[in-house]
Structure 1
Amino acid sequence: MDPSINILIVDDEPKNLRVLESLLDDPDYRLVRAESAEAALLALVAEEFALLILDIQMPGMTGFELAQMIKERRRTQHIPIIFLTAHYREDEHAVLGYDVGAVDYLTKPINPQVLRSKVNVFVDLFRKTRALAAMNRTAQAAEDALRIANTELAARNEALLREAEERERRIRAESAQAEAEEANAAKDRFLAMLSHELRTPLSPIVHAVTLLEEIECPPAIREHIATIQRNVRLEARLIDDLLDLARIRNGKLRLELQPVEIHEVLRQAIKICQSELTARRIQVVEKLEASGAQVRGDFARLQQVFWNLLTNAAKFSPDGSVIEIRTRTSDPGSLVVVEIADQGVGIAPDKVDRIFDAFEQGAHHSQTGLGLGLAICKALVQMHSGDIFVRSEGMNQGSTFTIQLIQTSSDSQPSEVQKTEPAPPPGVRLLVVEDHHDTLTTLTRLLERRGYKIRTAGSITEALAVAREYDFEVLISDIGLPDGRGTELLEQLTTMRGQPPAAIAMSGFGMDDDLERSRQAGFTEHLTKPIEFAALQQAISRLVKKMPA
């Protein structure tokens, strides 16, 4: 018996549903009944079905109208539909039925043998289709994922640019302070939702790439996998840039100021960019000559500035070129000066003065990205009481970006790079709650490969049922669930267990307010999608480390 072979039967007459259940009583089928179009739509959202048997004449929404809605939705448009009717008007019903995607008609009273025969055909087709899909998930999956990822990334980036520009024009057009504040609030909500919608489908791609990296593949396939990974990270960076810009403009971005050694920040930024630089055969020449190159700053945000300038230099430079990084202290030594010079396409003279404006790019020809990186770099440098400017002799003459930061005393101890936690011991019991099927599937496979003991759920109701008979050690939960929020789940689990469990939040919402709400609810860790598996393991390790022996 295959419990996943579901058949949805829809009829507003309970007695008709009982007849259908009697005729189709078979251990290979799982029959799901719905007495209205609305109940049918809810069932289609919750589960996958091999076949839909649908009565035409129903109060409210007719069978034809329901079928049309089903066929308009990507998730359900492939489901074959058999119409049932007691009043078959051949020409009229045929045209209407086939227009909305029907595959067959049966008139009442139903011939049991004919009904079972037709159902068997579609169930067999469903099994074969599913089996074929499983067989095709091989090396070809990498190439398909690359094509799909690139197409989706391009479409989302274009939509993101159009929406962001439209929002910016609207905000600038509003003159009254009250209207401006409301526009900013609306923009935050829009960006948060946009971030969630764009981040969520990236997580299963990241997890699938991680799974593919663990498989022996030909070098060509590995190149495709690396390309997917780079593009997904680029998409995540674009989303982060947009959210950072919103934080800066709303005054919500906060710096964690402490003594920082600039040379260490530069080395970390170079390390992050190294794979891309190596792939392009771009050489980085370091001339770190500043003495006492210490400033008071936020290590992560300064690293973001240097990373952005380095990736820009690489993106606009030819393969095999040189990027030079120079540091010095100004006379009489009150400033630390960092220069990043490339041999790239340069900046058009008419754009030098606008290069740090949001959505602005320096080259005449089209390039990838939204043009937010330099605007964010300027804002972050100014928040450090510093300055940033650029020199370029023109197109194809390269560019030199200069950052000036206030030098501080070397007596204070500079911050250290965060150390990596050791991997948690195998056998840690996890409860993973995620309603996005692909994310849950790929994440579960990765966790099982690392030796974790996993139980999964797709909703609050399912998670509570699992928790009643499964003594998990760490909860990993999406914030947005079909029947509530992950914060509500955590509250109910705390009540059930008498104390809050160790918990990690996963969410496509990455604004500061979202992180604060999850912390207040009791989540110790908050990971923003797309979630790198290494980051998830680090979060698990930190929680396990705090548990009593």
Structure 2
Amino acid sequence: MACQVEGLQQLHRLKDDFLATVSHELRTPLTKVELALQLLGRTPLNEKQQQYHRIALEECHVEISLINKLLDLQRLETKDLAASVSAIDLNDFWVSLLASVQERTQAQHLTLKITNPPPAAVIRTHLQHLSQILQELLENACKFTQPGGTICLEIQPVPAGFEFKVGNTAQIEADQLPRLFDRFYRISSADPWAQQGSGLGLALVKQWVEYLQGQIRVTSQAEWTWFILRLPDLK
């Protein structure tokens, strides 16, 4: 038994070393590539060059996001992030969250429907992770909603906490729902280029939610998909 434990610990150390190498050897050069592409975009480019430049920059963003998500998963598994709990004014938080999503919904010709948070509502939790969870769910909803569709964002108090709901006009097959939070799982599509993504976003969401001692579930029916998040007030 002691040998098995030692072997598992060694595997964890090797995994940590590998991810540290990924962070240094891939993320740093990609960040420099991203900067170079941004500078290139400020120079005169013809139409074809602009197209290639846009593709290169988008792919660079995708790879940097993938690396960051892998590292975030590793940190959540092996370290106590220990971010201090703070009292979050949900009205202020709501304004900031909506400002970040409105631009994207307008660009994609989506309708954004929201409910206001309860007056003087305060939740004690980790601000960074709450923001990351909702941003990821909203980004996902925008990605899989066709132009002309609707994104809904709701919040309501529940016993000892709050419930957040993110919905969009798209339906997911019932047999795919149980796997949505699995790592690297992506919803199947007839068009392999229809949506880019690593399949890590919802896996991260689940771990962030568990870290905050909350629960998350998903339903999809009648042409609507809803992610329902319940978070306790961490006193």
TM-score in same-fold range (> 0.5):
yes
Alpha-carbon offset, residue 230 of structure 1:
3.9
Give the counterpart letter for 1:350 in structure 2.
D
Q: How does 1:197-346 map to 2 (within 5 A)?
A: 197-215=25-43, 225=53, 227-330=55-158, 333-344=159-170, 346=171
The whole-number CA distance in structure 2 between the counterparts of 1:322 and 1:282 is: 6
Which of 403, 411, 418 pairs up with 2:229?
403
Alpha-carbon offset, residue 305 of structure 1:
0.8
Alpha-carbon offset, residue 313 of structure 1:
0.8
The whole-number CA distance in structure 2 between the counterparts of 1:223 and 1:271 is: 28
What is the CA deviation profile of residues 322-374 of structure 1, one whole-angstrom value per residue up to 9, with x for unaligned ones? 111111112xx532111110112x32212322322222234455553222211
Contact in 1 for aligned 2:91/2:120 (Cα 8 Å): no
What is the CA deviation profile of residues 469-518 of structure 1, one whole-angstrom value per residue up to 9, with x for unaligned ones? xxxxxxxxxxxxxxxxxxxxxxxxxxxxxxxxxxxxxxxxxxxxxxxxxx
Give the counterpart letter for 1:191 in structure 2.
L
Give the counterpart letter for 2:11 in structure 1.
A
The whole-number CA distance in structure 2 between the counterparts of 1:223 and 1:277 is: 23
Give the counterpart letter for 1:341 in structure 2.
G
Change over 3 Å in CA distance of 1:200–1:313 after alignment to 2:
same
Change over 3 Å in CA distance of 1:245–1:294 after alignment to 2:
same
Query: What is the TM-score normalised by the length of structure 2?
Result: 0.82
Q: Secondary structure at the match of 2:115?
A: strand
Contact in 1 for aligned 2:94/2:117 (Cα 8 Å): no
Contact in 1 for aligned 2:85/2:125 (Cα 8 Å): yes
* Higher RCO (C-alpha 8 Å, min separation 6): 2
The whole-number CA distance in structure 2 between the counterparts of 1:222 and 1:378 is: 38
Give the counterpart letter for 1:378 in structure 2.
K
Root mean square deviation, CA, Å: 2.9
Contact in 1 for aligned 2:85/2:234 (Cα 8 Å): no
Give the counterpart letter for 1:254 in structure 2.
A
Q: How does 1:87-236 map to 2 (within 5 A)?
A: 176-215=4-43, 225=53, 227-236=55-64
Which of 329, 332, 348 pairs up with 2:173?
348
Give the counterpart letter for 1:355 in structure 2.
L
Change over 3 Å in CA distance of 1:256–1:266 after alignment to 2:
same
Contact in 2 for aligned 1:266/1:303 (Cα 8 Å): no
Alpha-carbon offset, residue 270 of structure 1:
4.2
Alpha-carbon offset, residue 216 of structure 1:
5.6
The whole-number CA distance in structure 1 between the counterparts of 2:111 and 2:33 is: 31
Alpha-carbon offset, residue 247 of structure 1:
1.3
Give the counterpart letter for 2:135 in structure 1.
W
Contact in 2 for aligned 1:289/1:328 (Cα 8 Å): yes
The whole-number CA distance in structure 2 between the counterparts of 1:388 and 1:197 is: 35
What is the CA deviation profile of residues 212-241 of structure 1, one whole-angstrom value per residue up to 9, with x for unaligned ones? 344466788667655544433332221111
The whole-number CA distance in structure 1 between the counterparts of 2:82 and 2:48 is: 44
Structure 1 vs Structure 2: percent identity of aligned residues?
Answer: 26
Contact in 2 for aligned 1:342/1:398 (Cα 8 Å): yes
The whole-number CA distance in structure 1 between the counterparts of 2:179 and 2:106 is: 31
Residue 361 of structure 1 corresponds to 186
Give the counterpart letter for 2:225 in structure 1.
S
What is the CA deviation profile of residues 434-488 of structure 1, one whole-angstrom value per residue up to 9, with x for unaligned ones? xxxxxxxxxxxxxxxxxxxxxxxxxxxxxxxxxxxxxxxxxxxxxxxxxxxxxxx
Give the counterpart letter for 1:402 in structure 2.
I
Contact in 2 for aligned 1:270/1:310 (Cα 8 Å): no
Q: How does 1:349-428 map to 2 (within 5 A)?
A: 349-363=174-188, 366=192, 367-393=195-221, 397-407=223-233
Q: Secondary structure at the match of 2:221?
A: coil
Contact in 1 for aligned 2:163/2:231 (Cα 8 Å): yes
Alpha-carbon offset, residue 274 of structure 1:
4.8
The whole-number CA distance in structure 2 between the counterparts of 1:279 and 1:185 is: 44
Alpha-carbon offset, residue 243 of structure 1:
0.8
Contact in 2 for aligned 1:265/1:302 (Cα 8 Å): no
What is the CA deviation profile of residues 410-430 of structure 1, one whole-angstrom value per residue up to 9, with x for unaligned ones? xxxxxxxxxxxxxxxxxxxxx
Give the counterpart letter for 2:121 in structure 1.
A
Gaps in structure 1 of 5+ consecutive residues? 1-174, 410-549
Q: Secondary structure at the match of 1:256?
A: coil
Give the counterpart letter for 1:348 in structure 2.
E
The whole-number CA distance in structure 2 between the counterparts of 1:181 and 1:275 is: 46
The whole-number CA distance in structure 1 between the counterparts of 2:45 and 2:103 is: 19
Change over 3 Å in CA distance of 1:177–1:337 after alignment to 2:
same
Give the counterpart letter for 1:320 in structure 2.
G
The whole-number CA distance in structure 1 between the counterparts of 2:181 and 2:109 is: 28
Change over 3 Å in CA distance of 1:218–1:306 after alignment to 2:
farther
Give the counterpart letter for 1:405 in structure 2.
L
Contact in 2 for aligned 1:288/1:327 (Cα 8 Å): yes
Contact in 2 for aligned 1:356/1:374 (Cα 8 Å): yes
Gaps in structure 2 of 5+ consecutive residues? none
